[in-house]
Structure 1
Amino acid sequence: LKAGGAYVPLDPAYPSPRLNQVLADAAPRLLLCDAAGRAALGPEVLTGVTVVDLETATPGWAELPASNPDPRALGLTSRHLAYVIYTSGSTGTPKGVMVEHASTVNLLHWSSGVFADSEISRTLFSTSISFDLSVYECFVPLSQGSTLYLVEDALALAQTPLDVSLINTVPSAIAALVDRQAVPASTSVINSCGERLKADLIERVFDSSGVEKICNLYAPSETTTYSTWICMPRGEAVVETIGRPIANTRIYLLDAHGQPVPFGAVGELYIGGAGVARGYLNRPELTAERFIASPFVEGDRLYKTGDLARYLPDGNLEFLGRNDDQVKIRGF
């Protein structure tokens, strides 16, 4: 990242055909690989790409300076790519979402402004690197000088409790932790994301643990991990909404003609602002279809999510399901 390279995550737990499909589409210049990665990919794939072996006695970067490269000397800007992450492909061919540094930095700055240092200080990193929740779990604590605890998955806490302050995971994993009475006593915040969060689960967490607040977060990968959120502190009303936009993010509910619907009416959810990705790698036609120029803010772009929502009287967004089954938005 500091040298201006964009990373493409490959989880060796994924099926080899899926990994090979991503490699063929992304065509990376370098592959950082260990024994598990080599086994997952197979020898045929490794012949067509420059491989940096992470397990050699003398790593490939041993002779390079320890100091950071100068971004100005390299000509780097915030518009350079930070990563390309692939969608699940459950509705077709996986699509590589291109996310720039500026979009990721916006997410990190927003998080540092809404969570106290003590809440982020010990963050659980349990999501697969091929899933964009990992961007939040990895880079939020690292960018704030905090500690991250890297585990296979959140359910590992049932076997080995850790001194974590924040858990960022899907509701199904949260429910399993509650069932096993495995939410660490040190946990003050749980971020729920990737699936619909039900009120009864929120209440179960508060009843069975010392968690002080539960936050519900929503966004497709195409708008950089999270675009809306709501936080529910212990003792306050529990609601089933996806909240309001995070910093520098715009939400529009539009009808079939691209016009805003009346307050309280159902519309398709479009997302604009700093989190909108550059587009899909090697998919210019699909990029043009889903990433459109905003008719509301000059120079802004909107991502067409395919999700339906409406505003509640308190100004929060209620998620209502899919509008277009051909578009895959994770979790909802």
Structure 2
Amino acid sequence: MKDRSIYQGEKSNLDVEMTSRHLAYVIYTSGSTGTPKGVMVEHQQVNNFIHGMVNETHLDSYKSILCVTTLSFDIFGLETLAPLTQGLTVVISSEAESREGKKLAALIEEHKVEVMQSTPTRLKMLMENDRFKHTMKNLKTLYVGGEALPETLWNEVKEYGLPVFNMYGPTETTIWSTVKRMGKTDSITIGKPIQNTQVYVLD
């Protein structure tokens, strides 16, 4: 059969040498300084993050996760990179769905979403909708991070009885650095560091 493709040049694959020290991505953040800067994240750090989060939260035991985070926010990595390496289905919400509890609830129900990640601010907003609160009962685990978890919100969330992980991490250390599985009687903390990560408490 005659080749009808437009391009008639070299078609072999590129010879690309990739190592763990090559960049996976560059993301901008103001971090603790308030001054925007680019953070260069290598493949080895992303790999460590993925394995660390899977080990701490057993992400690999679920079938689907909701993605409500924009590409420009590094926690997007937990909703896409980590679950895809474990064979989960990633259900991507539209901008409208991510902001409206009723629409997001419908998406969760339609695709039988088991895992969701949210900042406390977004979760509080979503839980103002009764349908979303009802749909939360269908989730099998919830990740919360990006800002401090208010005690009032935690008191409401813990009544659902699902595993809740409170997470913390600056962009410079690749998304999440510490994880705490919250128990009903636990005080709110950021937990302990994931594998190959150290935390220093300074005065």
Q: Give the shorter-chain TM-score range.
A: 0.7 to 0.9
The answer (yes or no) to whether the contact 2:59–2:83 under 8 Å persists in 1 is: no
CA distance in 2, matches of 1:89, 1:243: 20
Letter in 2 for 1:124: L
Tell me the residue number matched to 2:113.
164
Could you say which residue in structure 2 is the equivalent of 1:237? 185
Query: 2:142 is matched with which residue?
Result: 190
Q: Is the 8 A contact 1:119 1:166 kept in 2?
A: no
Shift of 1:114: 2.5
CA distance in 2 between partners of 1:89 and 1:231 (Å): 25
The one-character-per-residue Cα deviations of 1:240-263 (angstroms, maximum 9, x if unpaired) are 211111111011123xxxxxxxxx
Distance between the aligned counterparts of 2:16 and 2:142, measured in 1?
Answer: 39
Counterpart position of 1:290:
none
Q: TM-score, normalised by structure 2?
A: 0.80
Q: State how far apart, in whole Å, the 1-side matches of 2:157 and 2:61 are.
A: 17
Amino acid across the alignment from 1:215: F
Cα distance in 2 for partners of 1:152, 1:101 equals: 28
Contact 1:202 1:214 in 2 (8 A): no
Structure 2, unpaired ranges of 5+: none
Instruction: Determine which structure has the larger strand proportion and give its number.
Output: 1
Shift of 1:170: 0.3
Separation in 1 of the partners of 2:32 and 2:170? 14
Per the alignment, residue 201 of structure 1 pairs with 153
**1:22-81 residue CA offsets vs partner (Å, 9 max, x unmatched):** xxxxxxxxxxxxxxxxxxxxxxxxxxxxxxxxxxxx9x9xx967xxx79xx522110000
Q: C-alpha separation between the residues in 2 aligned to 1:248 and 1:149?
A: 30
Residues 252-292 of structure 1: CA deviation (Å, up to 9, x unaligned): 123xxxxxxxxxxxx2xxxxxxxxxxxxxxxxxxxxxxxxx
**Change in 2 beyond 3 A, CA 1:220/1:90:** closer
Shift of residue 157, structure 1, vs aligned partner: 4.5
- The 3-state SS of whatever aligns with 2:201 is strand
Deviations 1:274-332 (A, max 9, x none): xxxxxxxxxxxxxxxxxxxxxxxxxxxxxxxxxxxxxxxxxxxxxxxxxxxxxxxxxxx
For 2:92, the aligned partner's letter is L
Distance 2:140 2:18 in 1: 38
Distance change (3 Å), C-alpha of 1:166 and 1:119 = farther
Distance 1:85 1:74 in 2: 23
Shift of 1:110: 1.3
Aligned to 1:98: 40
Say whether residues 1:75 and 2:17 are aligned partners: yes
Q: SS of the counterpart of 2:198?
A: strand
Give the CA deviation at 1:186.
Answer: 2.0
- Aligned partners of 1:84 and 1:96 also within 8 Å: yes
SS of the residue aligned with 1:196?
coil
Indicate how the Cα distance of structure 1 residues 186 and 75 shifts in structure 2: closer, same or farther if over 3 A, else same. Answer: same
Q: CA deviation at 1:161?
A: 3.8
Task: Using CA pairs under 8 Å that are at least 6 residues apart, name the structure with larger relative contact order, 1 or 2.
Answer: 2
Larger radius of gyration between Structure 1 and Structure 2: 1
Task: Tell me the equivalent position of 1:303.
Answer: none
* Distance across 2 between alignment mates of 1:115 and 1:90: 27
The residue identity in structure 1 corresponding to 2:54 is S
Instruction: Give the match's secondary structure for 1:241.
Output: coil
- Structure with greater helix percent: 2
SS for the counterpart of 1:253 is: coil
- TM-score, length-normalised on structure 1? 0.51
Q: For 2:29 and 2:196, how far apart are their aligned partners in 1?
A: 24
Residues 119, 171 of structure 1: alpha-carbon distance in 2 compared, 3 angstrom cutoff: farther
- Corresponding residue for 2:66? 124
* Structure 1: gaps (5+ residues): 1-57, 255-266, 268-332
Residue 172 of structure 1, CA deviation: 0.9
* Matched residue, 2:86: 144
Instruction: Work out which of the residue numbers 43, 49, 59 in structure 2 matches 1:107.
Output: 49
